[in-house]
Chains A and B, each alone.
Chain A
Amino acid sequence: MAKRRKIAVLFGGRSVEHEISVITALQLMLAVDPALYDITPVYIAPNGCWYTGDALLNRTFYASVPGSLSALTEVTLLPKPGINGLTVQATGLVLPVDVFVPVFHGQYGEDGCIQGLFELAQVPYTGSSVAASAITMNKYFCKVYLGAHGVPVLPAALINRDDARADIEATVESICSRSEFSSFPLFIKPCNLGSSIGVSRVGAKHELAAALAKVFRYDTHALVEPCVSEIMEINVSVRDVGRAQASVVEIPVSQSGVLSYEEKYLRPGGKKSGPSQGMASLSRIIDPPDLDPDIRNEVVSHAVRSFSLLGCSGVARLDFIYDLAAGKLYFNELNAFPGSCAFYLWARTAPRVLYTELINDMIETALRTHQSFASLDRDIGLRALKGA
């Protein structure tokens, strides 16, 4: 057997999507091929400290956090090239790591922050780069960027929390004065969060202030979008295998019209049905046979192009909105690291891709990307200083 690569799977983090990250990571680690990879689980607790230990592989461990953390080893990643591993805080011992696998949803993990640390430490990591992660995490920037490249997007307004708090009435008036937001309902959502946290469907002007206040509990910026009344959501995953490759599409099924956090993560988790498997347990129609092939092709085409334009890597999921009344398709958002890694879509794609293969390919792509960057010349000496 060839030597197994050491991978560090990082999850948790300082995000409101902390527990979704734990669910996705536990599932991902069960699909990693132990014949190829040796896993070091790394849990970033809500307080920002990093821990490792085999207990992290057990789902029941998290019910006792933070008390159970004392049984773990605190580690860190120092931003110094050449260490190539995690440093144990207490002893300075280095735990070697060949590839870092960030499994985060939301802030500090999916938005370029931790990717920046990987870049500073000069270690291979899976998924999108700093810039791609940062742009895709910010729904407004992402829409503006893709819209400028001809990808259809719904109009959007960005509301700053400080401006809203200074004068909420003026903020509400400025939203309503824009022609694209003149009729209700509207969607108010956090600019930098996923998992439907903080999202409201506002039916009248007087509800706007409360919806904005809800967003500002979690984010400093809110996004205002018109609500498509006759809506069909269509999602597709795209991954980087040297080129952008698309999965089959899915139509998520919502009972309330908008997929809530509860529908995505809590609904199947009752005692009778077992623990939630995150996005993999959501009600959905995968590869709907009666979907118009033209719509399907348009979704795939925009998804592959958007993924490439943004410079994404790893596995992403792109969500689209189809306006059934107008017959128009709009890009909605891109998840640089989607729940359940969207493996349920790849399992139904032809040729089929196993979750295990998705992970293998992400890791091997990360190594190739790292080697490619390592070949860049970053040292031109101190000619200006020495010359002076």
Chain B
Amino acid sequence: MNLTAAEHQPESPPLNVVRLGSSGPTVVMLHGWGRSLEALRPLGELLSSSCQIVLVDLPGFGSSPLPQGASNDGGGWSTEEYAQRVKAWLDTAGISRCVLFGHSFGGRISVRLAARYPGLVQGLVLVGSHGLTVERSFGQRLRSRLIKVAVSIAKRIDGLFGTRLFAHYLAPRFGSRDYNAAGDLRKTLVKTVNEDLAQQAGTITAPTLLLWGEDDRETPPSLARNYNRLIAGSDLFIFPHKGHEPFADVGSHLLCGHIERFLAERGINAP
């Protein structure tokens, strides 16, 4: 079911945003899971000499409060709700055309927005973005299956006997770092972590740039190549010797150059 922002408007505590730059296309930058806009600020500052930058703390991260619905008590949000929250903010801010920059978790949200609102998105830059199923080896699949069975058994035992096998034994040992650190966003993490946005990616028409680190273990370069196949006309560049955050440290200079060249070559200017 396709929902519009007006039809599906999650509750809206304020979003913390930082604006930089005064001319050029508007670039809205969405950070990864567990991070904040500060992770992207150095890159945003460099880009601000040619673009109008909007750095966003996604709901529940940085200085943006956690919406009740995204909390564990509220059942958690999918990236659909995150996308709608960002769209609602853009509408309020009067931004009708922009380039979306999404890193990791922010990439999932950007893919949803670019697929849903082609008129909004002038260009899309995905960096180490989640959103597609990662191909796993037989060993990885087997391990995952065994953990799922163990979790299922532990939860039944916890339910029957009031023990805390899952929380005290399984989660700390087999849960991901993000899972164990998610706190009140754990249900949101569980909801979003296995989303497959292949169908949405296949409908994206905005000029798209895919920037990836060759040594990225969280979103391996195979994801980038899949996005490259799914998004027609997308450009892909894989940086050797860089990981999941290729914009870290002086990498911000390297990525800034690639993004500015992409915007210039694709004729993306201020709307």
Contact = CB atoms under 8 A, between A and B. Distances in A.
A118 interface: no
The 5 A-B pairs at the shortest CB distance, nearest first, are namely A355-B253, A31-B250, A354-B253, A352-B49, A356-B257
Contact of B254 (A33, A277, A350, A351): A33
Interface string B64-77: 00000000000000
Nearest to B239: A34
A71 interface: no
A284 B239 CA distance: 31
A355 B254 CA distance: 8
B256 A354 contact: yes
B24 interface: no
A96 to B, nearest CB: 18
Contact of A277 (B237, B241, B249): B249
B239 to A, nearest CB: 6
B230 interface: no
A31 B249 CA distance: 9
Interface in A26-41: 27-35
A72 B76 CA distance: 51
A43 interface: no
B254 A347 contact: no
Contacts of B241: 29-30, 57
Nearest to A275: B249
B240 interface: yes
Contacts of B239: 34
Interface of A: 27-35, 57, 277, 343, 347, 350-352, 354-357
B49 A351 contact: yes
B237 A31 contact: no
B46 interface: yes
A347 B257 contact: no
A355 B240 CA distance: 17
Interface of B: 46, 49, 237, 239-242, 249-251, 253-254, 256-258
Given A27-B249, A28-B250, A356-B257, 15 more contacts: A30-B249, A30-B250, A30-B254, A31-B250, A31-B251, A31-B253, A34-B239, A35-B237, A277-B249, A343-B250, A343-B253, A347-B46, A354-B256, A355-B253, A356-B253
A24 to B, nearest CB: 11
Nearest to A36: B257
Nearest to A340: B250
Contacts of B258: 33, 35
Nearest to A28: B250
Contact of A30 (B46, B49, B251, B256): B251
14 contacts: A27-B249, A28-B250, A29-B241, A30-B241, A30-B250, A30-B251, A32-B254, A34-B240, A35-B237, A35-B258, A57-B241, A352-B49, A354-B253, A355-B250
Nearest to A351: B49
Nearest to A346: B253
Contacts of B49: 350-352
B63 to A, nearest CB: 22
A356 B251 CA distance: 9
A277 B241 CA distance: 18
A159 B106 CA distance: 61
A32 B250 CA distance: 9
Contacts of B256: 354, 356
Contact of A27 (B46, B240, B250): B250
Contacts of A31: 250-251, 253-254
A357 B249 CA distance: 16
A356 B254 contact: yes
A32 B46 CA distance: 16
A192 B46 CA distance: 36
B257 A33 contact: yes
B102 to A, nearest CB: 22
A356 B253 CA distance: 6
A81 to B, nearest CB: 31
Nearest to A38: B240
A72 to B, nearest CB: 16
B97 to A, nearest CB: 24
B210 to A, nearest CB: 14
B16 to A, nearest CB: 25
Contacts of B46: 347, 352, 354
Contacts of B254: 30-33, 354-356
Contacts of A32: 254
Nearest to B42: A347
A343 B254 CA distance: 12
Nearest to A350: B49
Of the candidates B237, B256, B257, the one having the most CB atoms from chain A within 10 angstroms of its own CB is B257
A114 to B, nearest CB: 24
B43 to A, nearest CB: 11
Nearest to B261: A35
Contacts of B240: 34
A15 B236 CA distance: 41
Nearest to A354: B253
A57 B243 CA distance: 13
Contacts of A35: 237, 258
